[in-house]
Structure 1
Amino acid sequence: MTRPLIAVTTSNRSGWRIFPLVAGNIRLAGGRALRWGAGRPADLDFVDGVIIGGGDDISPDLYGGLTTTARLDPARDRLERRLVEGAMARNLPVLGICRGSQMINVALGGTLDQDAYATFTRSDRVYTILPKKRLTICDGTRLMKIAGGAPMHVNALHSQAVNKLGDGLRVAARDRGGMTQAVERIRDPFALGVQWHPEHLWYARRQRAIFRALVTAARAYADGKGQVTEVARDAAESPDPSGRVF
């Protein structure tokens, strides 16, 4: 079976160390990866799916936010917004990781909370690649089908979070303070955004299932099949018998 080709966007500063980790997760899921970044060729016609990776905060210019002193990457912002919009136009599946989840929301007309922990004061503020943040997956969501409905422990490296939802999206997970931790499209093309970094949690079956879902959707795209339907079918055929929470 041909491995779907997944483009992965990264920062030009840190992509050299992040891309191999994401690419390894894609390979474990049955795909193959191609690195994209600002200033590099990025043609959606030659890939079967896209991962918008983590990194710097998204510029508030894209969603009407306030001026920020955070480190920004405007060239990357422009590239990734174009890629998300282009993917939606082509029916191409997308996975967003941390910043990438926020970019999916912004590209679809949503907004961000620039200081999410100041707004959600009951949310546990952790900053670690270890799975120390507990979240609840929302009932009836695609993420629940993919990763199961038990509480999940994830890592957290963010300060912003989704505020107003973009067109066609719904909340798929929240933390105990109510902050959005995952968003997903309701229909094709498959699009899932997670606020955490599943690539660092490759040892956890439920995190690997997120990459598997994208690769399944990418294969469906290449074969002209319904992505959401194929992801649901694959998830139903691959239940986690362990009942683990991360």
Structure 2
Amino acid sequence: MILPRVLIVSRRTVRKNKFVDFVGEYHLDLIVSYGAVPVIVPRVSGVHMLLESFEPIHGVLLCEGEDIDPSLYDAELSGFSPEELEEVRELHASDTAIDKEKDSIELRLAKLCLERNIPYLGICRGSQVLNVACGGTLYQDVEKELSKQFPELQRVTHSNYEDYDGHRHPVKVVLNTPLHHWFQDSLEDEKMELMVNSYHHQGVKRLAQRFVPMAFAADGLVEGFYDPDAYSPGEGKFIMGLQFHPERMRHPDSNNFDYRGCPSAYQEFVKAVIAYEKKLNCSASVPKGPKLNQEQEITKRNMILKSFSTAESLCISGSSGMVWAHKSELEVGAEFLEEITALSLKQMGATVRNASLYTQRLKFTAERERVARTIMERMSIAQLSELMSIYRIMRQICSEALEKKVQDLMIEED
């Protein structure tokens, strides 16, 4: 049984004077329990350039980590004095060390999810990454930038290192959001409050325009948000960020959750991942033609070669018109390319039906390259091999035709 794949970027720490990459056990347990397999992306230099090697990607879960580099979200001047900055660094020593490689990996993954509509769940730092990827900003320190605006008795403690797992603070849930549906059995109609854990000193300052808040802390900090246009787990749509850790909201003397709705974010996320994988597999399937015997295969290949040979002759001759015989021969090559790529020659930026524009249309625009890459990623090894073989022939034909054209041009100039 092959399960859909959820990418999770590791966090780096030091153990016995060596770097060790890790991911929290609760994230892994929940992903597996609901029917997907976690694929850990190591926080290693250069990995942000190798993300294609982790394909296929059916979902991305980003969670935990150091502060995001402020330069990535054009942070406004916080007005901190040098003493205040040093105080923040000392108080949150494990978080304030910027990890630019992790930033690069996770921002690339977040943007990839947004481009392809790949299911994405961001927990804590992962929600901040999602907001930054969409143009939002962050408080560099919630306590000093936000909480100080309130009287001391009304301030929210977002990090309590003396009671790390036990600390809770209330959040107000927004009606008719996924968070409301997951926890509705635990919410009082008037208060609409949950007691959530909190392990952060940064948070969303300006929420990106595409998102809708799902919960607020008493100081106004956004504690959860989602994209309503990209939320339908049954259809493979899920883009969401939670500032708190529902997977860690458990009773201290047992493994039971504080609320029945705590694991719902993971459950619905994996549901979307499974649906996305099915949708991807359906769109990638290309109908196979009837199997040819050896004699038929040779005949077919000869017809294809003749088709491209005709294209070569037309390119060299520079003829703007073509006789019917030539046109019918070119049809063979055109139909072959359409069959193995499931994409029209017009979309691929090439046509052998109009030989006078043949070389010109081979120049892909950036958009055509993107479409072509998407289609080819979904093709089988056999299809790609056959496509590569025929393109070698086409490249040789084009090269010879171009060389002949250049030589003719030089002769005319002489």
Report TM bin, short chain: 0.7 to 0.9
Please give the secondary structure, in 1, of the residue aligned with 2:23: helix
For 2:229 and 2:131, the matched residues in 1 are separated by 15
For 1:16 and 1:22, the matched residues in 2 are separated by 15
Please give the secondary structure, in 1, of the residue aligned with 2:64: coil
Question: Structure 1 156/89 Cα, relative in aligned 2: closer, same or farther at 3 Å?
Answer: same
- Larger Rg computed on CA atoms: 2
| Residue equivalent to 1:218 | 273
Q: Which has the higher contact order (CA 8 A, sep 6+)?
A: 1
Is the helix fraction higher in 1 or 2?
2
| Residue equivalent to 1:173 | 215
Please give the secondary structure, in 2, of the residue aligned with 1:12: strand
Q: Which amino acid aligns with 1:195?
A: Q
| Residue equivalent to 1:62 | 72
Question: Deviations 1:98-148 (Å, cap 9, x if unpaired)?
Answer: 011001000001001112123134342042223512212111212222333
For structure 2, the residue ranges without an aligned partner over 5 or more in a row are 15-19, 79-84, 90-95, 188-192, 231-236, 251-255, 281-414
| Residue equivalent to 2:172 | 136
Deviates more, 1:36-45 or 1:162-171: 36-45
Question: Deviations 1:183-239 (Å, cap 9, x if unpaired)?
Answer: 1112124111111122323632322111001101111211229xxxxxxxxxxxxxx
**Normalized against structure 1, the TM-score is what?**
0.82
| Residue equivalent to 2:156 | 124
Deviates more, 1:41-50 or 1:189-198: 41-50
Structural RMSD (CA): 2.3
Question: Structure 1 201/21 Cα, relative in aligned 2: closer, same or farther at 3 Å?
Answer: same
Question: Structure 1 16/141 Cα, relative in aligned 2: closer, same or farther at 3 Å?
Answer: same
Deviation at 1:73, TM superposition (A): 0.6
Mapping of residues 201-240 of structure 1, within 5 Å? 201=249, 203-204=256-257, 205-224=260-279
Q: Is the Cα contact below 8 Å between 1:142 and 1:172 reproduced in 2?
A: yes
Q: Is the Cα contact below 8 Å between 2:11 and 2:22 reproduced in 1?
A: no
Question: Structure 1 31/147 Cα, relative in aligned 2: closer, same or farther at 3 Å?
Answer: farther
**Normalized against structure 2, the TM-score is what?**
0.50
Q: Which amino acid aligns with 2:249?
A: L
Deviates more, 1:71-80 or 1:162-171: 162-171
| Residue equivalent to 1:197 | 245
Deviates more, 1:36-45 or 1:84-93: 36-45
For 1:131 and 1:214, the matched residues in 2 are separated by 26
For 2:219 and 2:128, the matched residues in 1 are separated by 18
For 1:139 and 1:156, the matched residues in 2 are separated by 22
Q: Which amino acid aligns with 2:43?
A: A
- Percent of matched pairs sharing the same residue: 26
Mapping of residues 63-142 of structure 1, within 5 Å? 63-65=73-75, 66=77, 70-118=96-144, 119-120=146-147, 121=150, 122-125=154-157, 126-127=159-160, 128-130=164-166, 132-142=168-178
For structure 1, the residue ranges without an aligned partner over 5 or more in a row are 226-246
Deviation at 1:47, TM superposition (A): 2.2
